[in-house]
Amino acid sequence: MRISFVQPRTELRPYLEAFWVFESAIGMPRTDQSMAAPNGCAKLIIPYENALTSTADGRVQLSREHGLYFVGNRNTSTLIQSRPTKTGFIAIEFCPFGAYPFFGIPMDETANRLLDSDEVFGRWGRNVREVLCNLDKVEQKVDYIQEQLVALLRGKQRHNAVIEFCVKTLKGVVGRLPIHDLERKTGYSRRYLDVLFRKHVGFAPKTLAGIFRFQKFYRQWAQGLSFDCVRDDLYEHYYDQAHFTKEFKKMTGYSPRKFTREVSNEFGRRITLK
Confidence of residue 232 (pLDDT cuts 50, 70, 90): low
**Does 155 have pLDDT greater than 80?**
no
Structure letter (DSSP) for residue 123? H
Which burial class, exposed, middle or buried, applies to 267 when counting CB atoms under 10 A from its CB (0-12, 13-18, 19+)? buried
Q: How many CA atoms lie within 13 A of 70 on its CB side?
A: 24
- What's the confidence (pLDDT) of residue 19? 98
- What's the confidence (pLDDT) of residue 235? 66
pLDDT digit string, tens, across residues 253-265: 999 889 888 888 9
Which burial class, exposed, middle or buried, applies to 84 when counting CB atoms under 10 A from its CB (0-12, 13-18, 19+)? middle
> What mean pLDDT value characterizes the chain?
93
pLDDT digit string, tens, across residues 24-71: 999 998 888 899 999 999 999 999 999 999 999 999 999 999 999 999
Chain Cα centroid distance, residue 176: 20
The CA distance from 132 to 144, in Å, is 7
Q: Which of 29, 91, 42 is CA-nearest to residue 265?
A: 29
Phi-psi region of 219 (alpha: psi -120 to 50; beta: other; left: phi over 0): alpha
Q: Domains in the chain and their CATH numbers?
A: 2-153 (2.60.120.10), 161-272 (1.10.10)
